Structure 1
Amino acid sequence: MPKKVDRIARQEDILDAAVRVFARKGFAASRIEDVAAEAGIAKGSVYLYFDSRNALLAGVFDSYAASSARALNELGDGPPLERLTRLVHAAVEMLAAHPGHARVLLDVWASNPPLDMAAIYHEYRGAIAALLTQAKMAGELRPEIDERHAAVIVGAIEGCLVQSLVDPQVSLRELAEPVVQVCVDGIRR
C-alpha cells in the first residue's frame, strides 16, 4: 500500500527547505534541485506543489505574510498606541524568531523579484496607519503625526532588522524597546 502524504505538511516542509536554501545561497543562485535536496525529497516532488522557482518564492512570502497577518490580528484591544507597541514587539519577535525569512527578505529587496512587494508593504503600513488614525482621533498623538509616519515605523523596524543581519553584535530582540521609545513614545501628545 502506498505511503499517504499529508499535503499541507509536505508543502510546509518544502517551504521551510526553500527558506533555508534561499537564505544560505540567495534566491538567484538557488535551484529547485537544491530545495528538493534540502527537504529530502525528489525534485519532481517539489513540482507537485510549486510549478517554478518563482512560485516557490511566492509561497515563502505567502507564508511570511500569513505570519504577519496573524500577528496583526492578535494585537487585542486597548488604546491604539498600546496596540502599536504590541505590534512593534510582535514584528520584531517574528523577524528575530525566523532569521531565514529575514535573510530571504533582504535578498529579495536586493534582487527585485517577481513579487508584489508594494502590496506587502501597503498592507503592513495600512495596519500601522489605522492605529495612528485611531490614536489621533483619541487625542493621543502630537498634531503633526499622520499616516505617513507608518512608513517611518516600518522603516525603523526593518532598518534594525538589516543591521542585525549584517552585524552579529546587534540583537534584533534588544532593539524592540528602543523602536517603541522612538516610534511610539516619541509621537505621543
Structure 2
Amino acid sequence: MPRQVDREARREQILGAAVRVFARQGYAASRIEDIAREAGVAKGSVYLSFGSREELLRAAFDGLADRSGALLAEVGRHPGGPAERLAFLVRSAMELLEGERDLARVLLDVWSAGARRPAWIDMAGFYREYRAVVAGLLEERDAHAAAPAVAPSAHATVLVGAIEGCVLQWLFDPEVELGPLVEPLVTLLVPPRA
C-alpha cells in the first residue's frame, strides 16, 4: 500500500525550507532545486505544492501577515487599559519577530530589491496597521487625561521604528539578542497610565 502524504504538512515542510534557503542565499539567487534539496523532496514535489518561487515567497509573507493580524486582533481583547494593551503589543510583536529570524532576513532582502520586488509585498500597509493600533491605544489612554502626553501618530511611528531598529540590529549583529530588548522598549515607549 503506498504511503499517504499529508499535503498540508508537506507544504509547510517545503515552505520552511524555502524560507531557510531564501534567507541563506538571497531570494534572487535561490532556485527550486535548492529548496527541494533543503526540504528533502523531489523538485516536482515543490512544484506540486507551489507553482513558483514567487508563490513560495507570497505564502511566507501571507503567513506572517496572518500571524500579525491575529496578534493585532488579540491586542483588542487583551485585559487591562490602553497602556497594558500597548505593552502586550510590544512584547508580543517582539516575540513573534524573534521566532521569524529567517523570514525577517528574506523580507529585508526582498524589500531592498527596490523596483524588482513584487508589487504585492505591501510593507507600508503592514506598518500602517501597526501604527493605527498603537495610535488608537494612545488616543484611548489620552482621552481621560487633561492633556495628551504624546502625539499619537508620531509616537506610533517612533514605537514601530524602534522595534524595527532593534530587529535590524539583531539581523546584522550576532551579538544582539532580541529578547533582552523587550522590556527596555516597553519602559521607554509605553507611556504609563495617567
The alpha carbon displacement at 1:143 in A equals 4.2
Q: After alignment, is 3-12 or 170-179 more displaced?
A: 3-12
Question: Is the Cα contact below 8 Å between 2:136 and 2:152 reproduced in 1?
Answer: no
Match of residue 142 from structure 1? 148
2:17 paired with 1:11: no
Q: After alignment, is 68-77 or 80-89 more displaced?
A: 68-77
TM-score (norm 1): 0.89
What does residue range 1-189 of structure 1 map to in structure 2 within 5 Å? 1-75=1-75, 76-112=78-114, 113-114=117-118, 115-139=121-145, 142-185=148-191
- 1:181, 1:53 → 2: CA distance? 41
Deviations 1:14-64 (A, max 9, x none): 111111111111111111221111111111211222222111111111111
User: Partner letter of residue 62 of structure 1?
Assistant: D
User: Partner letter of residue 183 of structure 2?
Assistant: E
Q: Structure 2: where are the runs of 5+ without partners? A: none
Q: How many residues align?
A: 188
RMSD of the TM alignment (CA)?
A: 2.1
Give the secondary structure class of the aligned counterpart of 1:170: coil
Question: Is the Cα contact below 8 Å between 2:26 and 2:106 reproduced in 1?
Answer: yes
Q: Runs of 4 or more off by more than 4 Å in structure 1?
A: none
Give the secondary structure class of the aligned counterpart of 1:48: helix
Q: Structure 1: where are the runs of 5+ without partners? A: none
The alpha carbon displacement at 1:132 in A equals 2.1
Question: Is the Cα contact below 8 Å between 2:19 and 2:102 reproduced in 1?
Answer: yes
Identical positions, percent: 53
